A = this chain, B = another copy of it.
């Protein structure tokens, strides 16, 4: 079976701050409130997750992932309101592109 797929990435000033892996990481941080928890779910090392978060924060004009201090669990990691908005924009863009791809998938003849 032939299938078209697409990796969507978003750049700022030529640097990629969102791609499928980074988006999954943001989503898992947002769900669990923990960088180590998100890394475990994505099956990547904590160090790798931290490098990705740094890339996201550096490529965008402000940090989208921040350390949360205090609380019952002694802090954690969270996505800023702007980060949540961008994540939701990414999903809306993916949805539009994937709708077109699904349409092409039913028409192609390789």
Contacts and interface: CB of A to CB of B under 8 A. Distances in A.
Given A97-B97, A100-B97, A8 B12 contact: no
Interface string A6-21: 1111111100000000
A interface SS class: mixed
B13 A110 contact: no
B3 A6 contact: no
29 contacts: A1-B12, A1-B13, A2-B10, A2-B11, A2-B12, A3-B10, A3-B11, A3-B12, A4-B9, A4-B10, A4-B11, A5-B8, A5-B9, A5-B11, A6-B7, A6-B97, A7-B7, A7-B9, A10-B110, A12-B110, A89-B108, A89-B109, A89-B110, A93-B108, A96-B100, A96-B104, A97-B97, A97-B104, A100-B100
